[in-house]
Chains A and B, each alone.
Chain A
Amino acid sequence: GEDVEQSLFLSVREGDSSVINCTYTDSSSTYLYWYKQEPGAGLQLLTYIFSNMDMKQDQRLTVLLNKKDKHLSLRIADTQTGDSAIYFCAEDAGSYQLTFGKGTKLSVIP
């Protein structure tokens, strides 16, 4: 079955880079996603990567995909206090149905 694993907490200093890691189990996933959730809000789609890509860069965000190890990472450059949130990794379980991890809470220290 599908399962997505993430570490639960990450703390970084403002201005440093953050790297949030995720492992997934469904090798047939077509897309892999990163969502951001701020307190009391819904999920905001940050970025996604197609499974035939190794890397995708979008401004301060870099996504790396290692299909062999089923490992996905999100790097946030120059992390700001506004980046403090919970970040969810998700895989496409088929028919564009998403399976989410439990989320990584990113705390940015000023």
Chain B
Amino acid sequence: EAGVAQSPRYKIIEKRQSVAFWCNPISGHATLYWYQQILGQGPKLLIQFQNNGVVDDSQLPKDRFSAERLKGVDSTLKIQPAKLEDSAVYLCASSAVQHEQFFGPGTRLTVL
């Protein structure tokens, strides 16, 4: 069974630029999560989708971050404009059985 796929794996941008990350969950997984992991910290939940609907986006900085999952499968997370403090690894996870989340390899973002 293929795991959660994410791209790109690495991205370097300058502050005030925009960036987008893509996630393809495990086939059949209805729930999809985006986490932000700052260096030396544990992952922090940004947004949770159930199929193509948002379950919780209370931790998403909506002035600059947006996420969508239009067809209930793939998802994109966008940052516009980026700030220095957005440098982190962005992890996507999916689950079928809700207490088992499977994580992708992450996208490491560096904002200069």
List B11-48 residues whose CB lies under 8 Å from chain A.
31, 33, 40-45, 48
Q: Which residue of A lies closest to B95 (CB)?
A: A96
Contact residues in B for A90 (Cβ distance below 8 Å): 42
Q: Are A48 and B106 in contact (CB under 8 A)?
A: no
**A55 on interface, CB distance cutoff 8 Å:** no
A55 to chain B, nearest CB (A): 18
Q: Which residue of A lies closest to B99 (CB)?
A: A31
Binding site of A, secondary structure by majority: helix, strand, loop or mixed?
strand
Contact of A43 among B40, B44, B91, B99 (CB under 8 A): B91
Contact residues in B for A98 (Cβ distance below 8 Å): 43, 45, 101
How many A residues touch B, CB cutoff 8 Å? 23
**B102 on interface, CB distance cutoff 8 Å:** yes
Q: Are B99 and A44 in contact (CB under 8 A)?
A: no
Q: Are B95 and A42 in contact (CB under 8 A)?
A: no
Interface size class of B (residues with CB under 8 A): 20 to 34
Contact residues in B for A44 (Cβ distance below 8 Å): 103
**B72 on interface, CB distance cutoff 8 Å:** no
B13 to chain A, nearest CB (A): 20
Q: Are A100 and B99 in contact (CB under 8 A)?
A: no
Q: Which of A35, A88, A100, A101 has the most CB of B within 10 A?
A: A100
Q: Are B45 and A42 in contact (CB under 8 A)?
A: no
Contact residues in B for A102 (Cβ distance below 8 Å): 40-42
Q: Could you list some 6 contacts between A and B, CB below 8 A?
A: A45-B101, A45-B102, A88-B42, A97-B33, A98-B45, A102-B40
Which A residues are closer than 8 A to B by beta carbons? 4, 30-31, 35, 40-45, 48, 88, 90, 92, 95-103
